Amino acid sequence: MSIKKLKKDVFNDLVAALIDSDQRVVGVKAKGDRFAFGDLESADELRLDYDVTLLPPKKFMLPQMETLLKYEVGGEYKSAGEAPKMTLIGVHPYDLVAINQMDEIFAQDEYDKYYMNRRNNITIIACDVVTPSKNVFAGSMGTATVDKGYDVLLTDMGDSYLAEAATDKGEELLAKAAQADDASPQDIEARSKVWQENKEKLNKHKLNCEPGDIPKLLDKEEVYDHPVWEEKASMCYSCGSCTSVCPTCYCFDVQDDVEWNLKEGKRWRAWDGCVLENFATVTGEHNFRKQRAQRFRHRIFRKGKYVPSKIGGQIACVGCGRCVTACTTDIANPVDIYNRLLEDVKI
């Protein structure tokens, strides 16, 4: 696959051409003094110098709420779920790692056609981080850079972007850019320097072990009943902010709604969160994680042990730092918790 160097105005022309096409184009835009993914109406709206978005881009593969199917009395049903072609511009490496993890999860066991159909119709233009956010710790989680999952990866080189195509879709996209030159060995060396610097700069909270050691830490018998769960949970509102902004949280609730005519209805799903009080409530009103400390512990175990067991040991925390910012009582930082456990438990 090719690596091109193109001036920023040339890239903006490419984005403008995409916006004028028949597909949806989503990118990062300013929202007050923060940033968010949204539909682009002009190339000038795109901000690739952003620090972090309010919500991760997972919502374009797994919407907050969606109808799965509609049904009628007699057994007739029709599957729902639209998957229009879309270009998603400006995904940071840590968010792309999260998407890569969800791609694995939704493709295994019960293949989720709703997620996968949307994912397969999205072209991703990722970009290396220019402005580190105040709580990012991707450097500790090994996600400050990424080498797969994108169609095109952009690296800011001042007045130009270095653009690497990793797929046929990416090659086709870059072929539309006028005046794009092949990257020189010096350009590629300069990009390697950016990557190395980002591994250092994107580390506002330093984890005191390798990410791969976390499952081993959580396997220790004394961790499960460690006092840190009660201490942190005593300040937890169970509001779900931490899971709502997390790029790797994918839990959802499925409900059936019958219409007033009692002849038809629909099945839908919506984001759910393991820290919410009724997340683990089942038939008979039995809640098998009724205590806040149990739910708080489950969130950390899920990221550091349960999900990694499904995806080859990858830790389901990519260090975006959104949960740290969103938590009003400052208890959600996974690094704080893992480091606290490491003080008391040897691995």
Does 48 score more than 80 pLDDT?
yes
Q: What is the pLDDT of residue 178?
A: 77
Neighbours of 156 (CB within 10 A): 18
Band of pLDDT at residue 346, cut at 50, 70 and 90 = confident
What is the per-residue pLDDT across 252-306, written as a single tens digit (0 to 9) for each? 999 999 999 999 999 999 999 999 999 999 989 999 999 999 999 999 999 999 9
Q: How far apart are the first and last CA of the chain?
A: 42
3-class secondary-structure state, position 189: helix
Tokens for 199, please give them.
């591994």
Q: What is the pLDDT of residue 55?
A: 98
Band of pLDDT at residue 82, cut at 50, 70 and 90 = confident
Of 306, 276, 142, the residue nearest 212 (C-alpha)? 142
Does 146 score more than 90 pLDDT?
yes
Band of pLDDT at residue 227, cut at 50, 70 and 90 = very high
| Burial of 46 per CB tally in 10 Å (0-12, 13-18, 19+) | buried
The alpha carbon of residue 2 and the mean position of all alpha carbons in its chain are separated, in whole angstroms, by 26
DSSP state of 44: G
Query: Model-level pTM?
Result: 0.96
Task: State the alpha helices, DSSP H only, in the chain.
Answer: 8-19, 93-107, 113-120, 138-141, 168-175, 185-201, 214-219, 221-224, 228-233, 241-244, 292-301, 322-326, 334-344
What is the per-residue pLDDT across 84-119, written as a single tens digit (0 to 9) for each? 899 999 999 999 999 999 999 999 988 999 999 999
Q: What is the pLDDT of residue 81?
A: 79
Q: What is the pLDDT of residue 231?
A: 97
How far apart CA 321 and CA 324 sit, in angstroms, is 5
